[in-house]
Amino acid sequence: MSRFRITIAYDGQPFAGWQKQLDATTVQGLIERALSKVSGCGEGERICVHGSGRTDAGVHALGQVAHFDAREGASLDSDAWRRALNVNLPPTVRIMDCAEAPSDFHARFDACRKTYAYHVHHAPVLPPHAAGRAWHVFGKLDYAVLEAGLASLSGQHDFTAFAANRGDASDQSSRVRTIFDAWLSVDGDRLILRFSGDGFLYKMVRLLTGGLVRCAQGRERIEWFTALLHRPTAAAKAPYCAPADGLYLERVDYALDPAE
Amino acid sequence: MSRFRITIAYDGQPFAGWQKQLDATTVQGLIERALSKVSGCGEGERICVHGSGRTDAGVHALGQVAHFDAREGASLDSDAWRRALNVNLPPTVRIMDCAEAPSDFHARFDACRKTYAYHVHHAPVLPPHAAGRAWHVFGKLDYAVLEAGLASLSGQHDFTAFAANRGDASDQSSRVRTIFDAWLSVDGDRLILRFSGDGFLYKMVRLLTGGLVRCAQGRERIEWFTALLHRPTAAAKAPYCAPADGLYLERVDYALDPAE
């Protein structure tokens, strides 16, 4: 058996998120269909692909990671897999890289660091090429408040206030996560808030971004934000969720990857 | 009567080009409909918008320029026009700027310089966010050949070999144009070929780009390209047309604009 690790980029707009669903087009569903077709699976057979985690409807990825096991006797090498899968996927989903992986590699359980980028377009008009790909924010926005808020995130925190309920068992799990780094990049009208950490709760990056932008607009005080972060209670929830349009899963790192 | 000058950006993918057509969605058609709605025009009345020139189906614009005349008694100022038009346009078409113009300003006849950018994505895989927005070229590509070819374009030339027939009276007009400057920018996998000149023939930028890329791939000699440029004949035509996806009308300049 050969296990392959794939790096996937997708434009989230046309999809109902990563995770396969019976009645909606999802990235995982499309990749499993392409894998099964390339592998010559019969009716009812399916090759499973395991992602590093889910992304929501409309959320983009530049470096989602997943693994799959080739069927016994499959003779494709990693480059041939990449090409064959891309031929069978829409241009909005691309296998950027494919490599053979150790047989015990697991895209979800072995991930040790994820980096998300949230794109805010700060200008009176959202350019047409940014539609669906950034959050359009206009008017007053204090970048120093964004920077201070992002800096306050580093370290281990209970993110209860910045997690939405999925309505499943995961709602009962620990909501303590470690943020390794969170920082702002500015390039003209484009602000990018980056969050790098050991894991992220459901809607966590969007709730953090929504809260920080609200503070930078002067509509909430930064003390409100830091209180939710440092003194969480079961009842207090951050109510401002930034739209999916601006969110990108940029990369997933694994313990055994060479340092850059 | 008040004349307004608008700067328009659009994603060309959903549209059958700039120029209005009876049975297809075009950028000019959408803007005229929005203008007429905002102006409270009755059935059959229409406010015309005059662009600096046409763009083809699938071609993008970052700085198309047009003008229109407000109806007698209309009281909107330029900022209000911008906002009102954008509310009545899809997110793929945006009025980036609106300003009052002299009553004899003409977006087409007064244009003295246009700049087009052609985006080539040179990598094994075209990222999903570049789909429809760049030409995917992979394999060998000699950037020095692109640079030399672009440099050879400066000056006045008869571009007969790099013009497609429109099938109308314009096919009989002079095909002499002046290129002020043409140059290559490289940013990672993204190559941008820019062409700045006093005017461009039908498909001229795409035929120039297609020919240059062919040379850079080593599939034609650069002497073939420069012969078409310097010794045009009625019969010799450049046969390689780059796809619309990569083409952007970046800006249109007017004689009276302040220098940057």
CATH number of the structural domain spanning residue A38: 3.30.70.580
Q: Is B57 part of any domain?
A: yes
Of A137, A109, A105, give the one whose Cα is nearest residue A124: A137
A131:B91 CB<8 A: yes
User: Are B33 and B118 found together in one domain?
Assistant: no
Specify the pLDDT at position B185.
98
Q: Is A18 part of any domain?
A: yes
Q: Is B260 part of any domain?
A: no
pLDDT band at A215 (very low <50, low <70, confident <90, very high): very high
Specify the pLDDT at position B166.
79
Specify the pLDDT at position A75.
82
User: Are B122 and B170 found together in one domain?
Assistant: yes
| Higher-confidence position of A159 and A44 | A159
B93:A132 CB<8 A: no
Question: Among A57, A72, A101, where does a domain finish?
Answer: A101
User: Are B14 and B89 found together in one domain?
Assistant: yes
User: Are B67 and B140 found together in one domain?
Assistant: no
> What is the spatial distance between Cα B250 and Cα B254, in angstroms, rounded to a whole number?
14
How does pLDDT run across A44-68, given as a tens digit for each residue?
888 999 999 999 999 999 999 999 9
**pLDDT higher than threshold 60 for residue A260:** no
Q: Is B151 part of any domain?
A: yes
Specify the pLDDT at position A255.
86
CATH code of the domain in which B219 resides = 3.30.70.660
User: Are A84 and A24 found together in one domain?
Assistant: yes
DSSP conformation letters of B144-180: HHHHHHHHTT-EEEE-GGG----SSGGGGS--EEEEE
User: Are B80 and B16 found together in one domain?
Assistant: yes
User: Are B118 and B70 found together in one domain?
Assistant: no
Specify the pLDDT at position B74.
78
B128:A86 CB<8 A: no
Supply the mean pLDDT for chain A.
94
Sign of CA dihedral A57, A60, A65, A66: positive
Q: Is B258 part of any domain?
A: no
B204 neighbors B116 (Cβ within 8 angstroms): no
**Chain A closest CA to B131's CA: distance in Å?**
6
Which among A92, A94, A127 has the least Cβ separation from residue B125? A94
Q: How would you classify residue A41: left for phi > 0, otherwise alpha for psi between -120 and 50, otherwise beta?
A: beta
A127:B9 CB<8 A: yes
Average pLDDT over residues A155-178: 88
% of chain A residues with pLDDT over 70: 98
Average pLDDT over residues A86-105: 97
A92:B131 CB<8 A: yes
Structure tokens belonging to residue A70: 């080739």
Specify the pLDDT at position B259.
58
- Cβ-Cβ contacts under 8 Å for B37 (sequence gap 6 or more): B88
Q: Is A108 part of any domain?
A: no
User: Are B133 and B212 found together in one domain?
Assistant: yes
Specify the pLDDT at position A240.
97
Specify the pLDDT at position A180.
98
Q: Under an 8 Å CB criterion, which residues of A touch B? A: 9-11, 60, 62, 82, 86, 91-96, 125-129, 131-133
- Range of A27-36, A226-235, B225-234 with top mean pLDDT: A27-36
**Chain A closest CA to B72's CA: distance in Å?**
28
- Cβ-Cβ contacts under 8 Å for A237 (sequence gap 6 or more): A161
Structural domain of residue B138, as residue ranges? 113-253
Average pLDDT over residues A137-155: 97
Q: How many CB pairs under 8 A join A and B?
A: 52
Specify the pLDDT at position A258.
64
User: Are A123 and A79 found together in one domain?
Assistant: no
A86:B125 CB<8 A: yes
Q: Is B45 part of any domain?
A: yes
User: Are B203 and B120 found together in one domain?
Assistant: yes
User: Are A7 and A28 found together in one domain?
Assistant: yes
- Residue in B closest to A63 by C-alpha: B127
Which among A9, A125, A128 has the least Cβ separation from residue B10? A128
B104 is catalytic: no
Number of structural domains chain B divides into: 2
Which among A9, A129, A131 has the least Cβ separation from residue B128? A9
Which among A11, A91, A128 has the least Cβ separation from residue B11? A128
Specify the pLDDT at position A2.
93
Specify the pLDDT at position B255.
86
Specify the pLDDT at position A259.
59
User: Are B130 and B240 found together in one domain?
Assistant: yes
- Residue in A closest to B97 by C-alpha: A125
| Mutation for testing the A interface, residue in B125, B138, B249 having most A CBs under 10 Å | B125
B129:A93 CB<8 A: no
**pLDDT higher than threshold 90 for residue A33:** yes
Structure tokens belonging to residue B16: 């059958």
First to last CA, chain B: 30
Positions in chain B short of pLDDT 50: none
Cβ neighbours of A129 in B, within 8 Å: 9, 11, 60, 133
The angle at the Cα of A111, spanning A99 to A184, to the nearest 5 degrees, equals 105
Question: Among B34, B67, B101, where does a domain finish?
Answer: B101
Cβ neighbours of A55 in B, within 8 Å: none
Given the residues A11, A23, A56, A77, select the one marked as catalytic.
A56
A128:B82 CB<8 A: no
B78 neighbors B86 (Cβ within 8 angstroms): no
Q: Is B259 part of any domain?
A: no
Given the residues B11, B23, B56, B158, select the one marked as catalytic.
B56
Question: Among A47, A66, A101, where does a domain finish?
Answer: A101
